[in-house]
Amino acid sequence: MVLYEFTSFREPADEPDIRSYDPMKRNDVGRFCATVRRYVGRHQQTRIVTTPELQLNGQWWPDFLLANRGDWLSKMPWARGALAEIEAGLSSSSPWHPRTKLAWPDDGTDHAGQPLIYDAVSRANHGETVHHELVVPFLRKVMNCEASGLSALYHRMNWAPLYWPETLRGWLADEPVQLPDTEFSHPVGQPVAAMIRTLVKDLRASPLVRVIEDRLLSMRPTARGFTLRLQAQGELQTPELIWAQSPAQGLQAAGLPTAGVDDRLPLMIGLLEVPTSCVQRPGSVQHLLDPSLGIYRVTHSSACADESQDGFVALTVEANPGWFDAVHGTGLSEGEAIDAIMRDLARAGVLASDGTPRFTKLIKLAGALPLPTPRAVQGFLADRAALLSACPGIQLMGPAAGPFANSMSDQIVQGLACGAFRDTALPAMQQEYA
């Protein structure tokens, strides 16, 4: 699922100084929604897509997991019991209410140094029933296990929700809730990645930019900056260095040991082009909680981009390989796996059972999704601190900037912040590529 979020946070009346962005503070990028929207708008025309959906027990509902739509919860057969749990929990204050997240330790622990795990915090705020009926089925399909083991502060890295209990109480009691829907946007007529291709093309064409494609063998700080040793180019001197890989990779390049453990999830992606006529459930994004299905998410790429190609539309399907194999069997060939995906889509009611794709591609990635476990967070922080100590003056972006501050929005803001810290009197073109 590759979409923009321009309205997930309430925008301040006055846009904050880009230099105040703090990648060490979880979701600080939310203060710069207007900045990201404006930057993207220089490169792509975007449109708001339809609200994502969620399939639960064979029925379709507005999405609870990502799009802040839980106004249907009162219709669930377990709503009364869930409401009683929420109301009982509201009678006693919890130190892990979501309103206090900005004060939670960045290392993923509680204030006593013990791991603060999402599962426990979800139960405390959502109640056992909502956690069991909605959260666990999603975790099971994404992670291939029922308990996430994730640091609560970084729960959104793997799309797990954390609502205020007051919000859930309103939904369960069928009362108005003052929580705006999350609106997702997508480029018109092209994928999000098209912006990256445009930027790369512009960089290569700029007289101010030299692009060197080579293997980095080592780096070391010097009195006047940094020395990079490249496999083909040899040594390269630079007065400044911005590191955009992980802190562990930076330490390795500097010839130093690393402390971190990089926990990651596998991912299976199916890319399909199917006849428009066989699409029975159009939309933008659909989450499928049915445990009998091997897939957990469908993105209607063509619908998001508001385009179709000769009567065919593109779909992107995601699954955890372990869960998919448990449902459909191990050792499937690519063709057999695609057939299983098509059966899942038909069983879910997304496609007609007689639909035949004209294009398919299956991608399996062993470590595609970062897992913010307590040990991964603490290891990242230790490696980051070691890198900054060993390489004074180095600047960090992307996977190195802050704990999981590596979304596209984060990286746009990081790049603009780096440029803002330079001489603001630079010519406009040079500011563009700073």
Q: pLDDT for 197-220, tens place per residue?
A: 999 999 999 999 999 999 999 999
Each residue of 338-392: pLDDT tens digit? 999 999 999 999 999 998 999 999 999 998 899 999 999 999 999 999 999 999 9
Each residue of 163-180: pLDDT tens digit? 999 999 999 999 999 888
Classified as helix, coil or strand, 361 is strand
Q: In what order do the strands lie in the sheet with 234-238?
A: 216-222, 225-230, 234-238
Predicted confidence at residue 13, as pLDDT, reads: 60
Of 247, 262, 229, nearest to 398 by C-alpha is 247
Each residue of 266-317: pLDDT tens digit? 999 999 999 999 999 999 999 999 999 999 999 999 999 998 778 999 999 9
Q: By percentage, how much of the chain surpasses pLDDT 70?
A: 95
Each domain of the chain, given as residue ranges in start order, spans 63-172, 265-370
DSSP for 275-302, please give it: EGGGBSS-SSEEEE--TT-S--EEEEHH
CA 160 – CA 150 distance, rounded (Å): 10
Predicted confidence at residue 262, as pLDDT, reads: 85
Q: How confident is the model at residue 427 (pLDDT cuts 50, 70, 90)?
A: very low
Predicted confidence at residue 420, as pLDDT, reads: 87
Q: How confident is the model at residue 1 (pLDDT cuts 50, 70, 90)?
A: low
Out of 18-32, 243-257, 272-286, 410-424, least confident range: 410-424
Give mean pLDDT, residues 315-333.
97
Predicted confidence at residue 431, as pLDDT, reads: 40
**The pLDDT of residue 260 is above 80:** no
Give mean pLDDT, residues 103-122.
91
Q: How far from 244 is each of 117, 397, 404, CA to CA, in Å?
A: 28, 5, 13
**Residues 29/407, Cβ–Cβ less than 8 Å:** yes
**The pLDDT of residue 6 is above 90:** no
| Cβ-based neighbour number of residue 102 at 10 Å | 10
DSSP for 88-111, please give it: HHHTS--TT-GGGGGGS-TTSB-T
Largest CA distance in the chain: 69
Predicted confidence at residue 433, as pLDDT, reads: 36
CA 169 – CA 129 distance, rounded (Å): 13
The reported pTM is 0.91
**The pLDDT of residue 326 is above 80:** yes
Domain 265-370 sits in CATH at: 3.90.660.10
DSSP code, position 212? -
Predicted confidence at residue 11, as pLDDT, reads: 57
Classified as helix, coil or strand, 391 is coil
CA 413 – CA 390 distance, rounded (Å): 26
R_g (Cα) of the chain, nearest Å: 23
Classified as helix, coil or strand, 278 is helix
Predicted confidence at residue 9, as pLDDT, reads: 56
CA 333 – CA 328 distance, rounded (Å): 12
Cα angle at 358 between 355 and 362, to 5 degrees? 95
Classified as helix, coil or strand, 263 is coil
Each residue of 61-109: pLDDT tens digit? 999 999 999 999 999 999 999 999 999 989 877 889 999 998 898 888 9
| H/E stretch holding 268 | strand 264-275
